[in-house]
Amino acid sequence: MFIELILPVAVPGVFTYFVPPELRERAGIGRRVVAPFGQGRKLYSGIVRRTDVRDPGLKRIKAILSVLDEAPVVTEKQLALWDSISGHYMCTLGEVMLAALPGALVLSSETRIVAAGDERPAWTGNARQDVLLDALEQRHELSMADVGELLALKDPMPVIKKMLEQGTLMIAEEIGEKFTPRMDRFVRLTEAASSEEALHAWFDRLEKAPKLLGLLMKYVEASNRFGDGPREVKREVLLRASGTTAAHLNKLVEKELFEVYERPAGVPPPGAVGRAKELSAPQCAALDHVRAALAEKPVCLLHGVTASGKTELYMELIAEAMGKGRQTLYLLPEIALTTQAIGRLRARFGESVGVCHSRLPPRARTDLWLAMLRDPAAHPLIVGARSALLLPFNDLGLVVVDEEHDPSYKQHEPAPRYNARDMAIVLAGSHGARTVLGSATPSMESFFNAREGRYGLAELLVRHGDAALPKVERVDIADEAKRKRMRGHFSETMLKGIEAAIARKEQAILFQNRRGYVPVWQCETCGWIPECEHCDVSLTYHKQQHGLRCHYCGRSYPPPSRCSACGSARLRMIGFGTEKIEEDLALLLPDARIARMDQDTTRGKHAFDRILSRFGEGGIDILVGTQMVTKGLDFDPVTVVGIINADQLLRFPDFRAHERAFQMMSQVAGRSGRKRDPGTVYIQARDIHHPVIGLVTAHDTKGMYERELEHRRAHGYPPFTRLVRLVMKHRDEARAIATADALASVLRTGLGDRVLGPEPPPVARIRDLHLRGILVKLDRNAYRSGKDFLREAIDRVFAMPEHRAVRLVIDVDPM
Ligand code: ADP
Ligand code: ZN
Ligand code: ZN
């Protein structure tokens, strides 16, 4: 008997192995088996993909050594999805497997293991386990190969696997930080102080202590004690609002008026779960549209303006899926967005909401994976970023892809370079589930699919309640400069708007799509710009670390004191990033509380949550940030949004630049005035008459779509074609060029002028590798055959010895 295995290696293909008779019963599809692979007798745990395999008739065929699992760890539906991903994105099944399976489930000779507890467990009574635990006491860490030697076993994996399950061992990559949720602290009245009379008595008692009385009054006001809101107030909010200190609060805790307790951030108070909001008439109509569309088509695009209540609609659909006992996958483009969403979803659906994203410790993903396999009913709703789609769903009824236009759905590095939105639709299809794609600024692709009738389309074009869409004001910075109304990067018009908002106790968000202090330093004499030694890109100055940094390879450099071309000491900074904006703003508005949100300030585990929760509690007046601030944030008091430099967004050298610029500007604008008065958005630009800015100002998403579609049609870009980007990389530039030229000419024999390049990409050298790119436009109607041709051409060229050493990156549907 023979089986096909998927192995965690980047070698294309599946691998046929012989199954010894004693293992035949157990080597079923989706289970892990141990197999030798490659030279040096390395062992890997592979996944059984097929069991009814015919004898390949090879002279020497390797046999599997053991079967690790008694039940599948990968379902057949997952295997089918892996096939789709590997086929569509032209990557190996091994690469998909490595992206999908939690690390702890992928064992190899190189896997390193450590003891799980601090103390060595008592004698296990099992000689092998004891030997192993003793060795780990001495050496701390062992590789699988070490264990094999130690125990004189050819295949030590079954022993290891058993001990991993018993919890005496751990995979080295799983140790380290334990996941501890960020805690929020709350204040409420003690039981004894809760009655009407008791509370009156307290008011009397505190009469002579104005600070304490103020604290109690603020609590009563904020907790809405006489309405039906929650009876608790966040500790920080209460202290800030009442202008008191922790010492005041502690006094009242000692006197047993208040009690303070904590709860993980985002978890609703007990008893608050389950309440649904009543939908408005436009929301009901849109929901009916979605339902009707989904009765006929597998996918429905929900085009709903910002703050229209799309999330409320999703929750209705989720409740329906749950009612039928089916699972829901709710995808968000960015981990950052999950906190707010999880809070709302837990408030409605309780603790069973499963969470999956890459910032969770590896252990959490393993646990979730195994829990879903054991009991699919345990997590009827899974919320997560990209990789959540790779979890073992049992019976999906609904997939929600929120902010479906977002480029973060696309994985860039490493392969599989998949778009989670597109693969979510494939996943849904295999379960017979429905997909809802939601956005205020849908992607060209999805709009096009809706218009062609492949997807249903539902619209919700009014904001919830009486909220109006924000007023957009274009600020001509050239003109303001002429009138001496520019303060650095800020126009007086915008500054006044921000100041007025703060005076009204409202908040502002400022968007600048570059991090760091300044992108570039330049020699005033000769124009020299400091560049990374390993990448062809200019360096960004980061003031906090007082150094230059390469945003491509991460290397740091000391700041230059003089020009390395002409020696001049006259260097100036050009351009500006979020760090500089934050600093300048602090000088202009010294009383404002300003915070910054970008990759640099959100590295820590809870850093992102902390900034957002402080903003949500009113502890920050102005939030400055990169595209992170454009997405999904829902804070009522934000009434002013400023886009510091729109020209920069529009000038990006990419065919999607206008689409992206429109989406980013509209999305960040949508953070403004979500409940109160409309709110104002300031767009600063030189080219204020740029048509895209006009479309943002008019909130004209469809107009944008029409304009852009014509452009795409004329130039043969998606959605009219599908793109594949091929990038050749080598340390030796000449070799990268030679291979790229060879590949391009082979491609041209079948695809003609649908092959663009080769040419050096905008950053032509990264980490000392020289890059050459080819872009292929495949005809939508001949997509399959086009891709087959591509595959053959690549295999042919890379089979030649002179090209073999050149690295090739294939990116299908690049973003
Ligand atoms: P979107 O997802 O379209 O941006 P949200 O679902 O976040 O919109 O809704 C915007 C705000 O309006 C949220 O604070 C939400 O709680 C509130 N909201 C939306 N619909 C309702 C409703 N039917 N009743 C009460 N509040 C609502
Ligand atoms: Zn110079
Ligand atoms: Zn670099």
Mean pLDDT by 10 residues, the chain (815 residues): 92 90 93 89 92 85 92 95 96 94 88 81 79 87 90 90 86 66 83 85 89 89 63 85 88 92 73 77 97 97 92 96 96 80 86 83 86 91 94 97 94 94 97 97 96 96 85 94 92 95 93 73 84 84 82 85 89 80 92 90 80 88 89 82 90 84 92 78 94 95 94 92 96 96 96 92 90 94 92 95 95 93
The CA distance from 792 to 796, in Å, is 6
Q: How close is the Cα of 550 to the center of ligand 3, in Å?
A: 5
- From 279, 287, 311, mutation site for ligand 1 pocket: most ligand atoms within 8 A of C-beta: 311
Query: Given the CA of residue 636, which atom of ligand 1 is nearest to it?
Result: 14
- From 280, 284, 312, mutation site for ligand 1 pocket: most ligand atoms within 8 A of C-beta: 312
The CA distance from 143 to 156, in Å, is 11
Query: Given the CA of residue 467, which atom of ligand 1 is nearest to it?
Result: 12
Query: Given the CA of residue 277, which atom of ligand 1 is nearest to it?
Result: 24
Q: How close is the Cα of 571 to the center of ligand 2, in Å?
A: 8
Q: Which helix (H) or strand (E) holds 628?
A: none
> What are the beta bridge partners of residue 556?
549
pLDDT number for residue 138: 85
Query: Given the CA of residue 632, which atom of ligand 1 is nearest to it?
Result: 4
- From 464, 636, 638, mutation site for ligand 1 pocket: most ligand atoms within 8 A of C-beta: 464
pTM exceeding the 0.95 threshold for the entire prediction = no
Closest listed ligand to the CA of 466: 1
* Residue of the CA atom closest to atom 5 of ligand 1: 309
* Residue of the CA atom closest to atom 4 of ligand 1: 307
* Residue of the CA atom closest to atom 6 of ligand 1: 309
Pocket of ligand 1 (CB under 6 A): 277-280, 283, 304, 306-312, 464, 634, 674
Cβ contacts of 623 within 8 Å, gap of 6 or more: 507, 508, 509, 510, 594, 595, 596, 597, 611, 615, 629
140 is written with which tokens? 């701390």
CA dihedral 729, 734, 735, 738 (to 10 degrees): 100
Could you tell me if 335 and 322 are in contact, meaning their C-beta atoms sit under 8 angstroms apart? no
Q: How close is the Cα of 686 to the center of ligand 2, in Å?
A: 29
Which residue from 724, 638, 650, 728 is spatially nearest to 683, judged by alpha carbons? Answer: 650
Q: How close is the Cα of 99 to the center of ligand 3, in Å?
A: 26
CA 133, 137, 141, 145 torsion-angle sign: negative
pLDDT number for residue 10: 79
pLDDT number for residue 465: 83
pLDDT number for residue 270: 64
CA end-to-end distance (rounded Å), the chain: 44
Reading across the β-sheet that carries 547-549, which strands appear in turn? 540-542, 547-549, 556-557
pLDDT number for residue 179: 54
Q: How many CA atoms lie within 13 A of 780 on its CB side?
A: 10
* Residue of the CA atom closest to atom 14 of ligand 1: 634
pLDDT number for residue 334: 79
Helix and strand counts by DSSP (H, E) for the chain: 25, 36
